[in-house]
Amino acid sequence: MKPLEIDNSIEFRRSRKKIAGAVIAVFAAVILILIVGGFNSAGTVNVLWIRSTVNTSGISYTSNIQENSHTFRTGGKTGFSFSLYNPSGNTVTISTVSSDTAGFTIISDNLPLTILPHSSATVDVEVKLPKTTYAGDLNLTFT
């Protein structure tokens, strides 16, 4: 039986070095990508419904707004705009907005807001999102 001969020419050795270099370059690129962005364990926040309750000056009502079209990063912030309606015959002032949903914090708003009788007004609310993954409803109370 004749021994197996392996091509060990200079061209073969150069090709082998090129392939090894390419494999190392790809490996280094993958590690760099994982370090820069892939190991980020930040979750997502999915607000399915926003339940806004107005409870002030003798009026009280709740509106449900479907919001599950956006996915946010945990720990970030986002803004929402609401149209609030005053069904009464008196002028109403909305002074505060709060959230009882765990992890959500109101960080800014354009309050106080005066709403004339039988009229609507828009309030903008900026919300700091939870630092952990969340999927559920956001409850806001305007008083």
- What is the structure's pLDDT at 108? 81
- pLDDT over 70 at 36, yes or no: no
The pLDDT of residue 40: 53
Residue pointed to by tokens 């956006």: 70
pTM: 0.67
Which pLDDT value is given to residue 102? Answer: 92
Which two tokens mark 4?
Answer: 């197996």
| pLDDT at position 41 over 60 | no
Confidence of residue 27 (pLDDT cuts 50, 70, 90): confident
Say how far apart CA 133 and CA 9 lie, in whole Å. 58
| pLDDT over 60 (residue 39) | no
Q: What is the pLDDT of residues 55-103, one digit of tens each?
A: 887 788 888 888 776 788 899 999 888 888 899 899 999 999 999 999 9
Q: Where are the domains of the chain?
A: 7-40, 44-142
- Report the chain's mean pLDDT, rounded to a whole number: 85
What fold does the segment set 44-142 form as a domain? Immunoglobulin-like (2.60.40)
* Residues with Cβ within 8 Å of residue 113, at least 6 apart in sequence: 84, 93, 94, 121, 123
